[in-house]
Amino acid sequence: MATPDRFDWTSAEADLHRVVDLNDARRQRQPDGWTADIDDERDDLGDDPIPVDPPDDTPAAAATWAAAAATRQPIVPAWLRSKAEAATLARWVVGHYTHVGAYHLIRLPLYAGRLALRAPRGAVRTVGGTARWVSDAEGLPVRLAAVRREDAQEYLRLSRQRDGRVRLRTLVLLATLTFGTAAVFILLVATPRWAWYATLAALVGALGLIGSSPDKPLLDVAAVKPRVRKLTADVLMRAFLAAGLCKPDNPLTFPMPIMRDGPGWRAVIDLPYGTKADTAIKKRTDLAAGLDLDEVQVWPERVRGSAGSARRLALWVADEDPYAKPSGLWPLIAKGTVDVFEPFPFGEDQRGRPVRLLLMFTSLLIGAIPRMGKTFAARLPALACALDPLVELHIYDGKGGQDWRAFEPIAHRIGFGVRDEVVLGLVEDLRALVADMNRRYDTIATLPADICPESKVTRAIAQRRSLKLLPVLVSIDEFQRYSGHAVYGDEIVALLTELCKVGPSVGIMISLATQKPDGKAVPTDLRDNIGTRFALKTMTWQSSEAVLGAGSYTAGQDSSRFQRAHKGVGILLGADDSGSVEEAVTVRTNRTPLADIDTVIRRARALREAAGTITGHAAGEHAAGADGPAGSLLDDILTVVPATEPKAWSETVAARLAELRPDVYGGWKPEQVAAALKPYGIPVGRQVWGTDPATGEKANRKGIHRDDIAAAVTARNERRRAA
Ligand SMILES: Nc1ncnc2c1ncn2[C@@H]1O[C@H](COP(=O)(O)OP(=O)(O)OP(=O)(O)O)[C@@H](O)[C@H]1O
């Protein structure tokens, strides 16, 4: 900004004069009301006007020209240059015409029968039509009118004309009949039998067609065409007027022509000055109603950058419901690997363009009602991580069916269902990760700036095995079953919150999927630390907000509007860097049927074997998987409750365990000891007479008998030996 002592008054004065001229010229162009502002400004500053418009030769003007050049539209439309879209179109054309061809081919006998049945009526129509033509029947009403008017002269003129016509037409008919008869004679004498039948069939066909009526077409309908709405400026104006986004005296303007774009129309619209494109996006349903379409066909989005403006909107209108057909298969099923530091294929947007997702340095929350594609969506990041041999996989499935079993050969930790030992396994795993997270930060802190410039893990750093900074994915499906666990639920949520908050920079990625996306299953503190959200169909807009975050509904993002048929379709928020709700995209995930998952896992296992990253459960370390932490817990209890002490209060055991292994048992309560021992059938509600070490008070409290633990250890050891 110019300061008074550096201000060049001479050139400023020259500029001022030009500005006054410009403003005068503009005032003449503008409606009356506009002049008042300029005059008010003058009043405030005496007679001196304020320079507002920069002179034309400033660098800003050059920048404007450059920006105009930058917004030139491509000569060949984008969809025509895209291999994928061209392939989609080609597939559609081949598929459509193959279907139509086969449909009609199989109905040929039916069509032949219809023609034969209609042929007699066609013959009658032909004879009648010919007779009317020869007798000049079309002139009869005119002749009768002349009779009614008693206009003898006109009648005689018309009669003469009719006689001439009838004579000529009779001759034509006779000639045709003569030639026809000769042709039939030649046909019968000189041509083979198949030619007779072919001619007869053609004749019957022609008569059948003549005998058809428009309300009963000969061909059945092979494919019902959707109602395709051509987008024109008038149609748009009507819709935007109805939605209250413009006024008749303040209409829309179109900076470029409305054109075809893939399977739909694309219009770029400048809303009236002061009307925000975001407002139009929020009124998507109103726009759809104004266009007389289902809202799933109407896709408004902001045009950003130097080609855009806060009032510039790109509206894509699909010819038909873009999600009515199944989505494509995941492109990495048969071949390809993943670098988890780069985005991987996740799905397609409404126009069939690929959508990629970057999970590194963020966390993912997926929410939906059951059977809408939550597990399919949650498996994609896990499969992508599987194809990067550096990533350590920690997989938990609260349901425990077939959905995640395929990951066993590559998972470092894995657990199915919510049996106590699995839940404990998860808790122990998360505790260990939290502890490891701190070690990871310590390691990162020791790295020089040229190796670790941004204080976060990179692929090059992760590849240095000695640093032990391999990326980790914790993927939990049916998360509500773990977060709602009576004893460990709160701790699981707290540990995951910590990991989501601090873990991303050191390579810890969290992916949670839930069919109960409310504040109870995914508490706000945890959700707010998850950067990427994917909301498939929900029942209510409140559930949609529970996944996407507060304010998403008012911003026009509501996953409850998806239909039941829209499986795998969801609103993805935070796939780009902005994470703003206005940037959310609607995505249909790529499909990965169970059989294909096996293929990917086989490839992932081979990659990991080659890289030497088969660890934990995949490497056969079943101690934690089979017995869970409770297996070592039994040994630990025998350590902290010596043989000289046959009974101990549960609270004493919990305190001593925490002292023994703070990273594993820190913060344990007596109920956690009880829950961990339950699977072994160890009685935990026994009354134990003891002395409170703090107060010296003697009392009867819940506790354990050492013999019970020792018996469980013996049984476990026998089981292990038998295995
Ligand atoms: N992208 C997709 N395209 C087409 N169909 C899909 C897609 N994703 C999922 N589906 C279909 O939806 C069905 C349900 O998917 P999925 O098992 O992932 O749902 P879910 O929400 O996890 O269900 P549940 O809560 O019962 O576990 C699947 O059988 C699959 O056929």
Whichever domain contains 657, its CATH number is 1.10.10
Six token digits for residue 389: 């041999």
User: What is the rounded distance in angstroms from the CA atom of residue 218 to the CA atom of residue 250?
Assistant: 52
CA distance linking residue 30 with residue 8, whole number of Å: 32
Asked if the structure places residue 170 within a domain, the reply is: yes
To the nearest whole number, what is the mean pLDDT of the chain? 83
* Whether the CB of 327 sits within 6 Å of ligand 1: yes
Q: What pLDDT score was predicted for residue 34?
A: 38
Based on the fold, state whether residues 409 and 529 are members of the same structural domain: yes
In a domain, 42, yes or no: yes
Same domain, 428 and 537: yes
Q: Examine the pLDDT at 453 and tell me if it is beyond 90.
A: no
Instruction: List, as one string, the DSSP characters of 511-569.
Output: EEEES--STTTS-HHHHTT--EEEE---SSHHHHHHHH-TTTTTTT--GGGS-TT-TTE
State which of 333, 372, 476 you would mutate to test the pocket of ligand 1, scoring each by most atoms of that ligand within 8 A of its C-beta. Answer: 372
Whether residue 324 lies inside any domain: the answer is: no
**pLDDT tens per residue across span 178-231:** 999 999 888 888 888 888 899 999 999 999 999 988 888 888 887 766 555 678
Is 376 a pocket residue for ligand 1 (Cβ < 6 Å)? yes
State yes or no: pLDDT of 661 exceeds 50: yes
- Let me know if residue 325 belongs to a domain: no
Contacts of 614 (CB under 8 A, 6+ apart): 410, 605, 608
pLDDT over threshold 60, residue 66: no
The pLDDT of residue 10 is above 70: no
- The residue among 598, 616, 634 that closes a domain is 616
User: How many angstroms is it from 172 CA to the middle of ligand 1?
Assistant: 72
Structural domain contains residue 8? no
Count: domains in the chain: 6
What would the mean pLDDT of 682-687 be, rounded to a whole number?
Answer: 79
Q: Which long-range contacts (CB under 8 A, 24 or more apart) does 61-66 make?
A: none
375 labeled part of a ligand binding site: yes
Q: What is the ipTM of this complex?
A: 0.97
State both tokens at 532: 């990427």
Ligand 1 within 6 A of 325 CB? Answer: no
pLDDT tens-digit series, residues 178-193: 999 999 888 888 888 8
Give the whole-number percent of the chain exceeding pLDDT 70. 84
Confidence at 78, pLDDT banded by 50, 70, 90: low
Threshold 0.80, pTM exceeds: no
Residue 223 lies in a domain: no
For residue 339, tell me if it sits in a domain: no
Looking at the fold, whether 285 and 150 belong to one and the same domain comes out as no
Last residue of a domain, one of 593, 616, 639: 616
Same domain, 525 and 393: yes
Cβ of 371 below 6 Å from ligand 1: yes
Average pLDDT on 474-479 reads 96
CA of 298 to the centre of ligand 1 (A): 25
| Claim to verify: residue 660 and residue 710 sit in the same structural domain | yes
pLDDT greater than 70 at residue 37: no
Same domain, 47 and 147: no
532 and 549 part of one domain: yes
Give the residue, 677 or 234, on which the prediction is more confident. Answer: 234
Asked if 582 and 662 sit in the same domain, the reply is no
The answer to whether residue 332 is domain-embedded is: no
Ligand 1 contact via 538 beta carbon (within 6 Å):
no
pLDDT at 416 over 80: yes
Select from 102, 124, 158 the last residue of a domain: 102
Q: Which of 77-81, 449-453, 672-676 has the lowest mean pLDDT?
A: 77-81
Domain with 88 in it = 71-102
Question: For the segment 690-720, what is each residue's pLDDT rounded down to a tens digit?
Answer: 888 778 888 888 888 888 888 887 777 666 5
pLDDT bracket for residue 172 (50, 70, 90): very high
- pLDDT at position 455 is 85
Average pLDDT over residues 133-158: 89
Among protein residues, the one whose CA lies closest to atom 2 of ligand 1: 568
One domain for residues 577 and 645: no
| Same domain flag for 436 and 573 | yes
Q: Is the CB of 591 under 6 A from ligand 1?
A: yes
State percent of the chain over pLDDT 90: 44
Q: Residue 233: is its pLDDT beyond 50?
A: yes
Is residue 288 domain-shared with residue 428, that is, in the same domain? no
Q: Output DSSP code: residue 255.
A: S
